[in-house]
Amino acid sequence: MRDPDVAPNAVADERARRFETGLSRAGLGLVPKLGRRAGDALLARLLRLLADRHPRAFAALREMADARVLIEPVDAPVALLMRVGPQLSLHAVPRGAGGVGDAGAADAVVRGPYARLLDLLEGRIDGDALFFRRELAISGDTALILALRNTLDGEEEMDLVADAASIAGPLARVLPVLRRNAGPVLDRIEAARRLLPPPLRRGIERVEARIAGTLPDTLPDKRA
């Protein structure tokens, strides 16, 4: 029989995960707004921090042949271009800016919903299963993608959200509290949201989508 305590916790955990996924996606959306130099510096700092925390995986990434992988969330305004090999680096690029074979672009592309890509990078989900279900699309150098996936999946307890938060100053201290309380708090917000009149509810959803970077800053004029 199902333990009655398990299901609500699992629901709360899933809700908290959705919250932090949305938060990190919004954070990613802000990177280009810092300007190229500051954005690159921030991502370089993140990469150094990840390399310190996961030396085995990052040593393996540096040992790979020089190549570029575009990690493209279909529901975020920004993609990440990762250069593996001795010149390991990470850059934010506009989503849809380039594909395999385009000038200056990637040798391989991994494309999917942001939450799934984050789960994959953190080893929470199996990449083959996502591929079978067509939630993940890959193109270009398959061996490169496989090597990257296997290297990152071989790492234990990768927590990219916490790692990203730790370079964002006060967020590092707030995140554990948010994680503990996000589930119940979001449950209450969701309950309150259901009581709102539909037009107001849709308006809030649009604002949320804009914050998450899934809507343009200016909504298209329906009369056009």
Partner 1 sequence: MDNFELICPAGTPAALRAAVDAGADAVYLGFRDETNARNFPGLNFTRQDVADSVDYAHARRVEVYVAINTYPQAGNLGPWQKAVDDAARLKVDAVIMADPGLLAYAAKRHPDLRLHLSVQASAANVEAIRLYRDAFGVRRVVLPRVLTVPEIAKLNAEIDIETEVFVFGGLCPMAEGRCSLSSYATGLSPNKQGVCSPASHVRYEQRGGALASTLGGFTINVFGEGEQAGYPTLCKGRFVAGDGPAYLFEEPTSLNAMDLLPELKAAGVRALKIEGRQRGKAYIAAVVRAYREALETFAAGRPVPHIDLQAMVEGGTQTTGAYTRAWR
Q: Is 10 in the site for partner 1 (CB under 8 A)?
A: no
- State how far the Cα of 118 lies from the Cα of 24, in Å rounded to an integer: 9
Number of residues that bind partner 1 (CB under 8 A): 30
Cβ pair 162, 156 in contact under 8 A: no
- State how far the Cα of 177 lies from the Cα of 171, in Å rounded to an integer: 10
Amino acid at 76: A
- State how far the Cα of 191 lies from the Cα of 185, in Å rounded to an integer: 10
Nearer to partner 1, 57 or 212 (CB): 57
**Of the residues 21, 24, 151, 214, which one makes contact with partner 1 according to CB under 8 A:** 151
Nearer to partner 1, 41 or 146 (CB): 146
Cβ 120 to partner 1, closest distance in Å?
A: 8
**Of the residues 79, 106, 147, 212, which one makes contact with partner 1 according to CB under 8 A:** 147
Which of positions 101-130 make contact with partner 1 (CB under 8 A)?
123-129
Q: Is 150 in the site for partner 1 (CB under 8 A)?
A: yes
Which of positions 49-78 make contact with partner 1 (CB under 8 A)?
60
Nearer to partner 1, 11 or 204 (CB): 11
Cβ atoms within 10 A of the Cβ of 124, count?
A: 12
- State how far the Cα of 129 lies from the Cα of 134, in Å rounded to an integer: 9
* Partners of 138 in the β-ladder: 110
Binding mask 154-173 for partner 1 (x = CB under 8 A): xxx-----------------
Nearer to partner 1, 126 or 190 (CB): 126
Cβ pair 125, 88 in contact under 8 A: no
- State how far the Cα of 15 lies from the Cα of 3, in Å rounded to an integer: 19
CA-based nearest residue to 79, from 53, 50, 102: 102
Q: Is 2 in the site for partner 1 (CB under 8 A)?
A: no
Q: Is 95 in the site for partner 1 (CB under 8 A)?
A: no
- Please report, as ranges, the residues that interact with partner 1 according to CB under 8 A: 60, 123-129, 131-134, 137-140, 142-151, 153-156
